[in-house]
Amino acid sequence: MSKDSKYSITVVDHDCRGSGIASLLLGAKIQWAKEHGFKFLQTKVGVSNHPSIGMLNKFGYQVVRLGLSKTKRPVLTMRLTLA
């Protein structure tokens, strides 16, 4: 993760889903970003990925845009303001 728009991707193995690991990782990422002066975090998530959208909403992310991925699938751009 960096301030120059590089990406951080989190993938949780199917067998570990529902264990809370993604929430722990996202919480740590948010804390790290705050400590390093980030003003916001932004992510893209597929519109049909309801578990991820719900988790992002739980942490305060808001939808800022509906668009298409490079493979033409609908995605939401979601942002969490930290400042």
Residue 80 · residue 60 · CB < 8 Å = yes
Which residue type sits at 42? Q
Domain assignment of residue 65, yes or no: yes
Number of other CB atoms surrounding residue 49 within 10 Å: 13
Q: Is residue 1 part of a domain?
A: no
Range of the domain at 67: 14-81
Q: What CATH number does the domain containing 58 carry?
A: 3.40.630.30
Distance CA 8, CA 22 (A): 13
Query: For residue 43, is it within any domain?
Result: yes
Residue 28 lies in a domain: yes
Question: Is 6 part of a structural domain of the chain?
Answer: no
What is the pairing mode between strands 74-81 and 62-68? antiparallel
> pLDDT tens digits for 6-59?
666 667 777 777 788 889 989 999 999 999 999 999 999 999 999 999 999 999
Residue 18: predicted pLDDT: 78
Beta strand 40-46 pairing with 62-68: unpaired
Q: What is the pLDDT of residue 13?
A: 75
Stated pTM of the model: 0.82
Q: In the chain, what's the furthest Cα-to-Cα distance?
A: 36
